[in-house]
Structure 1
């Protein structure tokens, strides 16, 4: 482990056991060769379309994959292997999750009852909750609301407050921004930056590359269950000519504030992956090698890329 790395994922693979007609058992691999590393004081944004493996990565780190899932590869936390028993011990304490679904709130418990367990300092609980409510423009009486009394935006703010109230060293934010108005979005992203400036680490899982680029130090691009590129956020500046992978370049150009140029084709399903490079069917610079061999993630110009032709 490099100095300062709080989380490292090497060659992560996740498969699910399924039963087809006739009770035939099969293994469906949905993630393969997925790699990231995250350092203290850093925000790493994981960007990819639906089905690219973003949320499964979060579940693997937290140890909350379903029973029919099989995990391969290595996950390290603070320099040591992160086993299932460690995940169960650390989650909600040193590793906090801001979940994607507002349904994660317990419908039978009041809002305050769900935030309080995250705060270790009992004497400061009221003050901490009061500050968070004021920050997110929530009225004091909301603390006594049940989740069904919250709007979607309010519920999202409560999930954020619950995670930010604890002293976690690693925060995983799974799609934390949907449903937020522009002011709240800006404020929450600033809060994330403030947390990492104090030495915490944040893994931000998102479809919103624009929001990611506002605060992230690095961007990891996921595609069909693997990592195609890890680049500094500044590499997306201008026309993105410092980017390495054809997919990352295309994704950058498809942003609404860029040329908004889509590319043909779609991300392949796990059961219909190309034999070679996962992006080869859509790539304009592919070679014969790309169609017959799966590239490894390699260092290139200060970033990492999984492409034979990247220069």
Structure 2
């Protein structure tokens, strides 16, 4: 318990310091840098013969991120976290169809605007190192079109990359080294929104912590950072809010302090189950599994695994404001 309270105290102290160094932070909270409203993503797929069907993998997904904050997106594999990143950047596969609203700095994020901003104002730290160009030397990839050699050297120094790494091709790098190169590439420029998709797996603890400190510095300077991660403990040390995904939708968005204070501060049953599943909280699993993306479900997607299930759960369950969080649950209070 003392460890949790220490973390809460450290978070509040850090945020107080951030507010003093960035007096516009509070004002920025009222104007989201990125807004995702009622997003759905479907894939056209072939069944037997030439018969097609649509597989809905994301539905009614709502999330926002503000200047000056790190939003950690958590949830089990297959819950739609990486697909959200690809939808924002406009790099979904050609067989995907998307509905809903994406806004960046208050304006619609159209395909044309996505192409213009991608890699400049909106940067991606991808999950897979296969995003590196196998035919281009590392230094040139990190610099990109507008970076300088001096910026590249400083980025290399921050991520413990030797100068000789810049002369190599991606296939000559270890997995951890390639991941550090990806992060360096994304943070080198003047991006306003950084989407980091699992940036720390394969990194040793010191480099992982340094990576998160850099994201925190960028947020404190006014960037918005969307951190997609399975490492909840690491996210709790640096994020401002936590968005919990389940079966392709948002079930709760809450201040990070609520996760630190314990399950009683969380509003959605799945958020509480996620908290209970952390090793330091007993590693308690729950029965059942996340529904397959092809399952046709109505109402609450978590209902089959929830002890609070009732008739109301079978109807539409919109996101609503409850206290200091947003939650998709008819029983939340």
- Tell me which interval the TM-score lies in, with the shorter structure as reference length: over 0.9
The answer for the alignment partner of 2:329 in structure 1 is: 307
Q: Deviations over 1:271-306 (max 9, x none)?
A: 22433210000001111221x213110000111000
C-alpha separation in 2, matches of 1:274 and 1:78: 34
Please say if 1:170 is aligned against 2:197: no
Please say if 1:5 is aligned against 2:28: no
C-alpha separation in 1, matches of 2:189 and 2:145: 5
Question: Unaligned 5+ residue runs, structure 1?
Answer: none
Which of 173, 181, 184 is the equivalent residue of 1:158? 181
Structure 2 SS opposite 1:153: helix
The answer for the alignment partner of 1:62 in structure 2 is: 89
Asked whether the 8 Å contact 1:31–1:224 carries over to 2, the reply is yes
The answer for the alignment partner of 2:55 in structure 1 is: 28
Q: TM-score, normalised by structure 1?
A: 0.96
C-alpha separation in 2, matches of 1:34 and 1:53: 9
The answer for the alignment partner of 1:285 in structure 2 is: 308
Moved more, 273-282 or 54-63: 273-282
Moved more, 261-270 or 128-137: 128-137
* Equivalent residue runs for 1:258-277 within 5 Å: 258-277=281-300
Assess, with a 3 A threshold, how the Cα gap between structure 1 residues 200 and 118 changes in structure 2: closer, same or farther. Answer: farther
Please say if 1:140 is aligned against 2:163: yes
Q: Deviations over 1:138-170 (max 9, x none)?
A: 111111011111001100000000001010000
Q: Number of paired residues?
A: 306
Which of 41, 46, 49 is the equivalent residue of 1:14? 41
Question: Unaligned 5+ residue runs, structure 2?
Answer: 1-27
Moved more, 1-10 or 194-203: 1-10
The answer for the alignment partner of 1:179 in structure 2 is: 202
The answer for the alignment partner of 1:201 in structure 2 is: 224
Which of 269, 272, 281 is the equivalent residue of 1:249? 272
The answer for the alignment partner of 1:107 in structure 2 is: 134
Asked whether the 8 Å contact 1:94–1:167 carries over to 2, the reply is yes
Which of 248, 270, 276 is the equivalent residue of 1:225? 248
Structure 2 SS opposite 1:171: strand
| Superposition misfits of 4+ residues, deviation over 4 angstroms | none
C-alpha separation in 2, matches of 1:118 and 1:293: 51
Q: Deviations over 1:154-194 (max 9, x none)?
A: 00000000001010000000111110100001111100000
Structure 2 SS opposite 1:299: strand
Shift in Å, 1:118? 5.2
CA RMSD of aligned residues (A): 1.3
Shift in Å, 1:211? 1.6
Q: TM-score, normalised by structure 2?
A: 0.90
C-alpha separation in 2, matches of 1:64 and 1:275: 28
Shift in Å, 1:119? 3.7
C-alpha separation in 1, matches of 2:29 and 2:186: 27
C-alpha separation in 2, matches of 1:224 and 1:114: 35
Asked whether the 8 Å contact 1:278–1:294 carries over to 2, the reply is no
Q: Deviations over 1:196-241 (max 9, x none)?
A: 0000010111112112111110010000000000000000123231
Asked whether the 8 Å contact 2:139–2:167 carries over to 1, the reply is yes
